[in-house]
Amino acid sequence: MTTGDLITLLPLIVLTAAPVVVMLAAAFYRSHTLALALTLVGLAATIVSLFIAATRTSRQVTPLLSFDTYALFYIGLLSAATAAVAILSWNYLQRRHVHPEEYYMLLLTATLGGAVLVASTHFASFFLGLEILSVSLYALVVYPIYRAQFVEAAVKYLVLAGSTSAFLVFGMALVYAETGTMTVSGLAPILSAGLGGPDVVVALGVVLLLVGVGFKLAVVPFHMWTPDVYQGAPAPVGAYVATVSKGAVFALLLRYFRPVSLDPGSTLFLVFAAVAIASMVAGNLLALRQDNVKRILAYSSIAHLGYLLVAFLATGERAAIAVTFYLVAYFATTLAAFGVVAALSTPARDAESIDDYRGLSRRRRWTATALTVALFSLAGMPLTIGFFGKFYVVTAGAGAALWALIIVLVLTSTVGLYYYTRIVVAMWVRQPDESADTVGAAVDGGSAAVLAALTAFLIVFGVYPAPLIQLIERAVSTLP
């Protein structure tokens, strides 16, 4: 390894150093504010180091990791999202009198796992990144341990993520045993051959790999854990699972499949299409009957991953741009929505019942506005970034002539309007039974700033997305 390689690795090194610093600081001087500050500094340094790493021309560091612009872009996205989660967590933890310093350390290690995933070009780094991410998340879900539901959610997540890892490793082992390759480039012909290849063992390995990825992305039929974990986990951790965890895995999926030509009509394509349709239909329909905002967001995230798969199936550069743009939009929107939930939650319980939002517009006008913008962005309405996200996905699908998938997308996303507007109605329309039994903590300054920034992001890029699109085009251009 040369000095040049170290410069290329700089983002990862900074991101590895950050949790160590936070941990050491906590060992000598316990201060919640200091932990948050160090975390933010660490994340900011990571983002700065991206620009330094971008100056390097040689991007591949060992066969394991590739720090092309694609990876750098996603590391930036993950770091920014983590920073938002960290700030949103501060007040949530502060109110609850737990020792919160290690929480930030776990947040940073989880992000480190995500960063490894988005740069991964090898099974080894794939598995390593996924495990760093998952193990950190087990602890994060249960971190404020005083509530039984956190433990319940954590155990569920532990069991499912554990078995997911088993599936993945077994799949990798089968593929390696038969083909002797663990790299993306070596994998491309195998994936191109799809499930119809002559070698049954390889096909089985690929299926197991996809099952593992499917669990992480929580697409149907591997979605069962999502509502429970979203509901059970603390609201900021829910936001983290919904964005960073899923986004990193999807970025990896995109990288692994970029050199693969998925032939419409091949079994692999049909499997993906079926999963996409099932996710869109089930996610949207199951969300209809929920009264819990966290569960609504969970089911809606299943549907959104279905939309992403539609763009993913379009393949080619346009698909990569569409997926990345949609992920950025989805990150910002989901963080804003969960951010409101987190900001309004009290130590007694999270603000998760739809009744907690009744009349919110009269109690907290700006918070209600932020959540409304986020919900409209999830619904894909104009003037929000979600509109362009959905537009991009539909465009990618139309470009690849995936008409059946697009029509399902259109119809199911219309169903989605119903449950998004339910929350909006609860916030804005005066109801006769507006009771006093609502949760509504005061929104702290940090959360308010994050929510304001996210809302501004949603609207600014919902009106003029061109700069973001250009950035993303540059980012995905280095994918092989």
Partner 1 sequence: MILLWYILIPAAAAPLAWLLSRSQPQVARWVAVGGTALPLALVTWQWVSEAGALRAAFTAHGPGAAGLVQGTWLAHVHAAWISPLGISFFLAEDGLTLIMLVLTFAMGLLAVIASWRGITERVGFFHFMILWTTAALAGVFLSLDLFLFYFFFEMMLIPMYFVIALWGHERRVYAAVKFFIFTQASGLLMLIAILALYFIHGRATGTYTFDFTQLLGTRMPSATAFLLMLGFFAAFAVKLPVFPLHTWLPDAHTEAPTAGSVILAGVLIKIGAYGMIRFMVPLFPQATFDFRTVAMILAVIGIIYGAVMAYAQRDLKRLVAYTSVSHMGFVLLGIFAWNTLALQGVVLQIVCHALSTGALFILVGTLQDRIHTRDMTKMGGLWAIAPRMGGTAMFFALASLGLPGLGNFVAEFLILLGTWQVSKWAAVLGALGLVFATVYALWMMQRAFQGEETHALRFHDLVPRETGMYAALIAALVVLGFYPQPLIATARQTVTAVQQITAGTPLSSQANVAAQLIVAAGETQAEAIVADRAPTDGER
The residues of the shown chain that bind partner 1, judged by CB under 8 A, are: 376, 381-383, 387, 391, 394-395, 398-399, 403, 406-407, 410-411, 413-414, 417-418, 421, 425, 428-430, 464-466, 469-470, 473
Q: Nearer Cβ to partner 1, position 188 or 327?
A: 327
What tokens does 133 get?
């991410």
Instruction: Tell the smallest beta-carbon distance from residue 58 to partner 1 (Å).
Output: 29
Q: Nearer Cβ to partner 1, position 228 or 473?
A: 473
Instruction: Tell the smallest beta-carbon distance from residue 355 to partner 1 (Å).
Output: 16
What tokens does 84 get?
């938002």
Contacts of 290 (CB under 8 A, 6+ apart): 227, 296, 299, 419
Tell me how far apart the alpha carbons of residues 266 and 259 are, in angstroms, rounded to a whole number: 16
Q: Nearer Cβ to partner 1, position 167 or 307?
A: 307
Q: Nearer Cβ to partner 1, position 200 or 410?
A: 410
Residues 180 and 94: beta-carbon distance below 8 Å = no
Instruction: Tell the smallest beta-carbon distance from residue 376 to partner 1 (Å).
Output: 6
Instruction: Tell the smallest beta-carbon distance from residue 233 to partner 1 (Å).
Output: 30
Instruction: Tell the smallest beta-carbon distance from residue 220 to partner 1 (Å).
Output: 22
End-to-end CA distance of the chain: 23
DSSP 289-353: T--BHHHHHHHHHHHHHHHHHHHHHH-SHHHHHHHHHHHHHHHHHHHHHHHHHHHH--SS--S-B
Instruction: Tell the smallest beta-carbon distance from residue 425 to partner 1 (Å).
Output: 5
Q: Nearer Cβ to partner 1, position 185 or 470?
A: 470
Any idea which residue has 């087990």 for tokens? 138
Q: Nearer Cβ to partner 1, position 59 or 390?
A: 390
3-state helix, strand, coil in the chain (%, to 5): 80, 0, 20
